[in-house]
Amino acid sequence: MSISRLDKLYRRILLTKFFVKGWGNPNHILRLFQFRKEISNRNKCVDLIPKDYPVTILNEQSFEDYQLIEGTFHSPLAHFLPDVVIPEVRPARFQLIFPKKWKSNTYRPLCIHLAGTGDHHFWKRRNVMAVPLLKHDISALILENPFYGLRKPKDQFRSSLHNVSDIFVMGGCLMLECLVLLRWCESLGFGPLGISGLSMGGHMASLAATSWPKPLVLVPCLSSSTASAVFTEGVMSQSINWDLLQKQFSSDSKFYNTLSKLCTIVDDPFQCNLSLLSGL
């Protein structure tokens, strides 16, 4: 489907630009790609997070039908890549909402809600998703997105990420932060557990779900298995300064000699344990 002139004009005038500073530090991107090998392995990823990872409660509020708890914890990715995760992003913040009276004596279902593009703070997800789900006896945990809300760099305009590397930092943060929260909620007696998100939030939810070793409900809404088409096709492609990215890529040997070789979707496609087939 071709892009209409109206779509292009809307993209250029009304919406913010992405990756206005380019790729980011090539050394940071290299370290992120190397760390990806750790978190893409479920067993290794789970072991990165201690079961008693500290979570701090900041505030508790009581409403007519539900309780609201605000909390924070240090984003685990900042422990492993302290110079890559900027200070504003390091404190992870969340709101936990659960009914005052449960309909079931056995189950305490809970869903983690991740933010879509432009969804800053908690208000939208709390009122559009979390509160309505309380009627179905489903509690909610709303995690503030890295680079959004109180985790947004002071010089960042709205949702306009400065660097391509910020997307990788965001994904790495959310994967490990969701592990912290799933374990914490499980320790509080919540379950079954789920994770969901809209658009970008759905994609991040899918990434986070791959790291959890137990049964988990996953509901990615309006999302795909990759975000590449969002930025390379359609009107979103007009939000990126491709000339800047190409210039930076061509001018730094670390990009085209090293990083380009790391950009594979799967490191070992279709690899399996052949010993499992020995009895067939």
Give the CATH number of domain 16-228+236-262; options: 3.90.75, 3.90.1690, 3.40.50, 1.20.1290.
Answer: 3.40.50
> Which of 40, 14, 3, 30 lies closest to 175, judged by CA?
40
Question: Which of 30-44, 88-102, 228-242 is predicted with the least confidence, judged by mean pLDDT?
Answer: 228-242
Q: Rounded to an integer, what distance in angstroms lies between the CA atom of residue 139 and that of residue 32?
A: 33
pLDDT tens readout for residues 220-244:
988 777 777 777 876 677 788 899 9
pTM, two decimals, is: 0.87
Q: Are strands 139-143 and 110-114 parallel, antiparallel or unpaired?
A: parallel
Q: Rounded to an integer, what distance in angstroms lies between the CA atom of residue 71 and that of residue 55?
A: 7
pLDDT at 235 (0 to 100): 63
Q: Residue 274 pLDDT more than 70?
A: no
pLDDT tens readout for residues 150-191:
999 999 988 889 999 999 999 999 999 999 999 999 999 999
Amino acid of residue 272 = C
pLDDT at 270 (0 to 100): 46
Q: Residue 279 pLDDT more than 60?
A: no
Q: Residue 280 pLDDT more than 90?
A: no
The helix or strand, by DSSP H or E, that contains position 38, with its residue range, turns out to be helix 26-39
Domain boundaries, the chain: 16-228+236-262
